[in-house]
Copies of this chain bind each other. A is one copy, B any other.
Amino acid sequence: MALVTIGDVRRAATRISEHVVRTPLIPCARLSDALGLRVLIKPENLQNTASFKVRGALNTMLTWQENGTLPEGVVGYSAGNHAAAVAYAGQRLGVKVIIAMPSNAVESKVINVRRYGGEIVFTDDLLGTCEELAARHGFPALLPFNLPEVIAGQGTVGLEIAEDHPGVDAVIVPVGGGGLISGIGAAVTALSPATRVIGVEPEISNALALALRHGEVRNLDPVRPTIADGLAAPRAGEHTLENALRYVDEMATVSEDAITAAWADMADATKLIVEPAAVVGLAALQTGAVTFPPGSTVVLVASGGNADLVKLSQVPRSTSG
């Protein structure tokens, strides 16, 4: 095992550049006014496949291609965004993709995987089914977060933030298995050491905090379903734990109710269609789980946009309109 470095992230950025959207940083006046901060959104819902996951999947497959080890097919497991990302990368590079996804996956995520030619196996045992698929087909697993190449790919989000707006006070990152925050941490810590890298998890699905607390990866027990389906990792990974120990300054958690409220508020204030996983950072600011001095410049990484629009439109509104 080895820490992911800024060099790894820079090489990933070069590798994937022609296949991804270099998403902008968008200031949001309404959230800034409401929170007394300067809020910038990193809208990875505008990314190809509508999630940052495509960065890590592409970096992994392109690295394999460079090394002459690109397989005929890959397997994986995912709530849906990693699945679509692998399917997207596979379609571009001519690699067959078979992914284990939960039986209750969000419909727009299922459609998204199939859009890029990915084959889905629905299951209630993601890790077991993924292993079984790997054995049956003889394909390697392209894991959703616990691979150095995946972490380096997701780190390009942090590289872009640091390039576009050097010296922000904090970057707040949704955390599932910890791949995104590990990569962002590697980039931001190197380029902007004073910037705080803060991870936010659902209270009921806090696999990385559990690993950090014990200094080793532990299974969540019980595994509980969160509205932030994209963050429902049953355990962190050895690589993400190692990187998070080095690069993450602070972790926080938010309740399901806080995520739901933030979901509607984010859509309303930013006019971005985001999924619940993407708003845990906003929820942390709204609930005071994470605080800053007034006027601080804070980046919220809006990780993805594969949401159920009917459900989003039905969240009871505050009076903000």
Contacts and interface: CB of A to CB of B under 8 A. Distances in A.
Interface of A: 21, 23-24, 26-27, 29, 45-46, 48, 50, 107-108, 111-112, 115, 267, 270-274, 305, 309-310, 312-314, 320-321
A225 B48 CA distance: 36
A195 B107 CA distance: 40
Contacts of A273: 267, 271-273
Given A309-B312, A312-B313, 9 more contacts: A21-B26, A24-B26, A50-B271, A111-B320, A267-B273, A267-B309, A271-B274, A272-B273, A310-B313
Nearest to A110: B321
A108 B320 CA distance: 10
Contacts of A111: 320-321
Given A309-B313, A313-B313, A271 B108 contact: no
A101 to B, nearest CB: 15
The prevalent SS among residues of A at the interface is helix
Contacts of A48: 29
Question: Which 10 A/B pairs are nearest by Cβ-Cβ distance?
Answer: A111-B321, A271-B305, A24-B24, A313-B313, A45-B271, A309-B313, A271-B273, A310-B313, A29-B48, A50-B271
Contacts of A108: 321
Contacts of A267: 273, 309
Contacts of A45: 271
B270 A46 contact: yes
A271 B46 contact: yes
A27 B321 CA distance: 29
Contacts of A320: 111, 115
A271 B271 contact: no
Contacts of A310: 313-314
A310 B317 CA distance: 12
A165 to B, nearest CB: 13
B313 A115 contact: no
Contact of A46 (B26, B107, B313, B321): B26
Nearest to A25: B24
A115 B33 CA distance: 12
A170 to B, nearest CB: 21
